[in-house]
A and B are shown apart, each in its own frame.
Chain A
Amino acid sequence: MAEEDDELILSELDDEELVQQMHDDLYDGLKEEIEEGVRILLERGWEPYKVLTEALVGGMKIVGDDFRDGILFVPEVLLAANAMKAGMAILKPLLAETGAPKVGKMVIGTVKGDIHDIGKNLVAMMMEGAGFEVIDLGINNPVENYLEALEREEADILGMSALLTTTMPYMKVVIDALVEKGIRDNYIVLVGGAPLNEEFGRAIGADAYCRDAAVAVETAKQFIARKHNQMAAG
């Protein structure tokens, strides 16, 4: 970090400069600076939802784009995500109080036999940032966990993640169970993970394969909008 950055006083920046600086700080994974920036914006009267979308999600979008383009790598994305998570921890209780829009509800989890959750956690965080309520089932989930959570939470979306070629076929086990129970069409099923591709997503009967967190958010929004349109038309 350059010396001049060390001397930067966030509270002296105007709103636009501060948001820009927070994007930079998020990019650099500076957790404390993000927490400070969030507090300053709230003190200036910003709605929590506006802080979330403009300062945090906007910054994370740049991180996501650069990760997709091979400019940033997993460690940097993780640091940025940790910083965003810290900012979100301040905002979350306030978002509930201020009636921020709820786009839909997602149940997400890594499949049985798989303990990898970095991608899944990123998706969960970005979905929350986009206004979805996320029920995170964690890792190593048997089919029963998904079914029980979908029903209990009255979820709109099921998200499944796998990092291993040996565990990704389990996604089909879950989808087949939904079909068998006659509830497959009640849910939007999104799948993701490094060894997956669109063809695999289609073959197992998912609604979409999402190659990264940003795509997952956009895909989820599109499907939710479509669902609402269908309901309105029906």
Chain B
Amino acid sequence: MDGSKSPTLPDDATLTEAGLAPAARGRVLLLACGALAREILALIRANGWEHVDLACLPAILHNTPEKIPQAVREAVERHRGAYQAIHLVYADCGTGGRLAALCEELGIEMVPGPHCYSFFEGNEIFAARAEDEFTAFYLTDFLVRQFDAFVWKPLGLDRHPELRDAYFGHYEKLVYLAQTDDPALDAKARECAARLGLAYERRFTGYGDLARELQAWLGE
């Protein structure tokens, strides 16, 4: 799966803070969260979807979901004239249904499910597990790589490690839902779990419902 390294893929910090501008080619635009850029580019390449372009919003919007709908609206308005179709590669992502309502208003499709870690695992499987696993804290490949930017620093744990249990005291384990087989990421995720004082579990998901959804949108 690691044909994902693309010359057009920015580094993770850029995807977190700035996102990705489209290459201005193709007829269909995937408007996505920056946390999904690597996986989407890998799927575009693996499937030979030459007609597809990718634009990403800053992944750090994950931490302020109330800002996602407006950012999506502005991006759709900005890019709409240049493409025949736009698909939104976001799940609900903590927007409480507001993103789905916006998609309906704009007439575009989005990925079903509550979060990326749900559709990577497969929404049905994730939902079935959720009843028994609500004390789990989830990370994906991207979130493992960007753990400090998404978790440690925004929660102030770099400055106030004593707050850890206020945030994570009721959690029991960190579940790393792995898109790729990467021993270095496995080791880093294990270290993240230790820093949060949680047990560790790794589950390989591949691209899950993301691959299926993109195939349904873009496949011949």
Q: Give A residues with C-beta under 8 Å from B.
A: 73-76, 78-79, 82, 113-118, 139-140, 164-168, 194-197, 200
| A116→B96 CA distance, assembly (Å) | 16
| A139→B171 CA distance, assembly (Å) | 11
For residue B94, which residue of chain A has the nearest CB?
A195
Q: Give B residues with C-beta under 8 Å from A.
A: 65-66, 92, 94-98, 114, 127, 130-131, 134-135, 154-157, 159-160, 163, 166-167, 170-171
Q: Tell me the minimal C-beta distance from A211 to chain B in angstroms.
A: 10
A165-B114, A166-B114 given as contacts; is B166 within 8 A of A113 (CB)?
no
| A34→B92 CA distance, assembly (Å) | 41
Taking a contact as CB atoms under 8 Å apart, the answer to whether B160 and A75 are in contact is yes
**Overall SS of chain B's interface:** loop
Q: Tell me the minimal C-beta distance from A92 to chain B in angstroms.
A: 20
Taking a contact as CB atoms under 8 Å apart, the answer to whether B114 and A115 are in contact is no
| A73→B155 CA distance, assembly (Å) | 9
| A140→B154 CA distance, assembly (Å) | 25
Taking a contact as CB atoms under 8 Å apart, the answer to whether A115 and B94 are in contact is no
Taking a contact as CB atoms under 8 Å apart, the answer to whether A114 and B134 are in contact is yes
Taking a contact as CB atoms under 8 Å apart, the answer to whether B65 and A75 are in contact is no
| A197→B69 CA distance, assembly (Å) | 14
Chain A residues with Cβ below 8 Å from B154 are 73
For residue B157, which residue of chain A has the nearest CB?
A75
Taking a contact as CB atoms under 8 Å apart, the answer to whether A197 and B96 are in contact is yes
Q: Tell me the minimal C-beta distance from A68 to chain B in angstroms.
A: 13
**Of A73, A140, A195, which one neighbours B96 at CB under 8 angstroms?**
A195
Taking a contact as CB atoms under 8 Å apart, the answer to whether B94 and A76 are in contact is no
Chain A residues with Cβ below 8 Å from B94 are 165, 194-195
Q: Tell me the minimal C-beta distance from B108 to chain A in angstroms.
A: 20
| A197→B97 CA distance, assembly (Å) | 10
| A114→B96 CA distance, assembly (Å) | 15
Chain B residues with Cβ below 8 Å from A118 are 166-167
A78-B163, A78-B166, A194-B65 given as contacts; is B156 within 8 A of A200 (CB)?
no
Pick from B65, B134, B159 the residue with the most CB of A within 10 Å.
B134
Q: Tell me the minimal C-beta distance from B13 to chain A in angstroms.
A: 20
| A197→B94 CA distance, assembly (Å) | 12
For residue B132, which residue of chain A has the nearest CB?
A113
Taking a contact as CB atoms under 8 Å apart, the answer to whether B156 and A140 are in contact is no
